[in-house]
């Protein structure tokens, strides 16, 4: 079959790209290795930058987000048994973040694409991509996506391929190794996360630094909590009955005045995720363009993974629209440099939040005091708290490639 843009992966990056292209009258076909149900049920991100939420609303897929999303105007840092609020209204020009689970983002996008007649192949197997590296201006090569669906071999011939297939996908590895530079840092810890049917015990997120390890109180709705504790990167979840998880959460989130209590409830999901910072340079090769986790991974401490994927897609959709409208390649050729400018700033912020809030086994007593001093500085200095706030709500888009 023939289409304009072939998209590998129906996560938030692939689905949003297909949606934005559709709004520009550009046809795309999405190839996804899992079922729609599997993709929608994966427990992933939960926090949208205001710019992400605004884009979903402005492009007609934000009605449920507007009804159900929880708008937050700040977060709490908790250390030394005391809470310190980072006020976005005061420090980040009134920008906010919205609690709205990735499950619902992808469900809303699936509905929009399928209701608009969009083509998505689910449970595609043995996906491969071809003839993209040398395709482009002056070349007659046409990029192709090949896969098997219900036992039948299929091929999509397209002008451009978007690699939105996540960190473990096939697109990035399909780029010749000598055409890529990889930047990677693996952290010596992970997060053990739970979904609990209990009303969140704080109106906003609580990031806690504690001598037993980091903890985060987040949420999915007024009735569903999302909580995390720092753990070993290869932690065996079977050794963590609910009681043990709650005991750690009580200990790490406690306030010294003893006035704050953590509401417990049935744990409906639990899991361990590793943490890494990972960047691919460049994010394109010929007529293949990587977006989202296919190109980069951030530690979740800054709540940036999903939001960075959206920022990539915003640039890629504009570049592809310019190409089809004018034949100009400018934005397409600058795609990677524009995205990487944001990617590295978000990597820095995510690394900074992770390094400030987590215990590192290689650290000593000096480092513990240094971390506490950094938290005290952030909590007591307007300048320092403003840097956290402006990064957390989302930096403005920069459309010019770095000088």
Which residues are designated catalytic? 72, 207, 300, 304, 392
Q: How far is the CB of 247 from ligand FAS (least distance, A)?
A: 23
Out of 11, 101, 225, 394, the residue judged to bind ligand FAS by CB under 6 A: 11
382 sits in which H/E element: helix 382-393
Q: How far is the CB of 228 from ligand PHB (least distance, A)?
A: 7
Is residue 231 involved in binding ligand FAS (CB under 6 A)?
no
Our CB check for ligand PHB shows the closer of 96 and 218 to be 218
Is residue 34 involved in binding ligand FAS (CB under 6 A)?
yes
C-beta nearest to ligand PHB: residue: 46
Out of 51, 129, 164, 208, the residue judged to bind ligand FAS by CB under 6 A: 164
Range 142-161, binding ligand PHB (CB under 6 A): none
Q: How far is the CB of 224 from ligand FAS (least distance, A)?
A: 14
Nearest to 220 by CA among 237, 199, 236, 234: 199
Angle between helices 12-23 and 102-115 (to 10 degrees): 40
CA pair distance 13, 190, nearest whole angstrom:
24
Give the burial class of 322: count Cβ atoms within 10 A of its Cβ; 0-12 exposed, 13-18 middle, 19 or more buried.
Answer: middle
Our CB check for ligand FAS shows the closer of 62 and 379 to be 62
**4 and 287 Cβ atoms separated by less than 8 Å:** no
CA pair distance 14, 124, nearest whole angstrom:
15
Q: How far is the CB of 289 from ligand PHB (least distance, A)?
A: 27
Q: How far is the CB of 8 from ligand FAS (least distance, A)?
A: 5
The alpha helices in 118-175, defined as continuous H runs, are 171-174
Range 284-323, binding ligand PHB (CB under 6 A): 300-303
Q: How far is the CB of 299 from ligand FAS (least distance, A)?
A: 9
Interacting residues of 396 by C-beta distance below 8 A, sequence separation 6+: none
Out of 169, 190, 213, 394, the residue judged to bind ligand FAS by CB under 6 A: 169
In angstroms, what CA-CA distances link 336 with 49, 151, 219, 230? Answer: 21, 36, 34, 33
Q: Which two tokens stand for residue 318?
A: 């504009």
Site string for ligand PHB, 24-63 (x = CB under 6 A): ---------------------xxx----------------
CA pair distance 76, 350, nearest whole angstrom:
17
Out of 28, 127, 336, 354, the residue judged to bind ligand FAS by CB under 6 A: 127
211 DSSP β-pair partners? none
First-to-last alpha carbon distance for the chain, in angstroms, is 41
Our CB check for ligand FAS shows the closer of 170 and 267 to be 170
Our CB check for ligand FAS shows the closer of 280 and 379 to be 280
For residue 371, report the phi and psi dihedrals to the nearest 5 degrees: -60, -45
Range 77-116, binding ligand FAS (CB under 6 A): 102
**370 and 73 Cβ atoms separated by less than 8 Å:** no
Q: How many residues does the chain have?
A: 403
Judged by CB under 6 A, the number of residues near ligand PHB is 10
Give CA angle at 398 (293, 295), nearest 5°: 15
Our CB check for ligand PHB shows the closer of 292 and 302 to be 302
Q: How far is the CB of 251 from ligand FAS (least distance, A)?
A: 22
Coil, strand or helix at 402: coil
301's contact among ligand FAS, ligand PHB, none, with CB below 5 to 8 A by partner kind, is: ligand PHB
Longest alpha-carbon distance in the chain: 71
- Binding residues for ligand PHB, rule: CB under 6 A, are 45-47, 205, 218, 226, 300-303
Site of interaction with ligand FAS (CB under 6 A): 8-14, 31-34, 39, 44-46, 102, 124, 127, 164-166, 169-170, 273, 292-294, 300, 303-306, 309
């Amino acid at each position: 079959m023939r289409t304009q843009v072939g998209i590998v992966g129906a996560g938030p990056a692939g689905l949003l790209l297909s949606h934005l292209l559709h709004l520009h009258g550009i046809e795309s076909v999405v190839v996804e290795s899992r079922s729609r149900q599997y993709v929608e049920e994966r427990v992933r991100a939960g926090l949208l930058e205001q710019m992400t939420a605004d884009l979903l609303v402005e492009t007609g897929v934000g009605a449920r987000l507007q009804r159900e999303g929880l708008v937050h105007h700040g977060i709490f840092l908790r250390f030394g048994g005391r809470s310190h609020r980072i006020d976005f209204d005061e420090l980040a020009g009134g920008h906010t973040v919205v609690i709205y689970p990735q499950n619902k983002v992808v469900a809303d996008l699936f509905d929009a694409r399928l209701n608009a007649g969009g083509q998505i192949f689910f449970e595609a197997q043995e996906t491969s991509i071809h003839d993209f590296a040398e395709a482009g201006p002056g070349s007659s090569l046409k990029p192709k996506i090949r896969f098997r669906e219900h036992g039948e071999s299929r091929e999509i011939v397209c002008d451009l391929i978007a690699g939105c297939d996540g960190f473990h996908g096939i697109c990035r590895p399909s780029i010749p190794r000598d055409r890529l530079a990889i930047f990677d840092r693996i952290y010596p810890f992970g997060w053990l996360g739970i979904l609990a049917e209990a009303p969140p015990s704080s109106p906003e997120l609580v990031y806690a630094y504690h001598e037993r390890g980091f903890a985060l109180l987040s949420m999915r709705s007024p009735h569903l909590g999302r909580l995390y504790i720092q753990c070993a990167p290869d932690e065996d979840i079977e050794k963590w009955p609910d009681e043990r998880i709650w005991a750690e959460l009580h200990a790490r989130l406690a306030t010294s005045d003893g006035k704050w209590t953590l509401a417990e409830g049935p744990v409906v999901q639990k899991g361990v995720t590793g943490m890494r910072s990972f960047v691919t340079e460049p994010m394109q090769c010929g007529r293949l363009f990587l977006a989202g986790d296919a190109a980069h991974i951030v530690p979740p401490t800054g709540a940036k993974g999903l939001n960075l994927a959206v920022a990539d897609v915003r640039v890629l959709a504009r570049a592809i629209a310019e190409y089809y409208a004018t034949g100009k390649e400018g934005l397409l050729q600058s795609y990677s440099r524009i995205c990487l400018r944001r990617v590295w700033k978000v990597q820095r912020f995510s690394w900074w939040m992770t390094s400030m809030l987590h215990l590192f086994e290689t650290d000593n007593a000096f480092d513990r005091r240094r971390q506490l001093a950094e938290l005290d500085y952030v909590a007591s200095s307007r300048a320092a708290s403003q840097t956290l706030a402006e990064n957390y709500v989302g930096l403005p888009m920069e459309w010019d490639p770095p000088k």
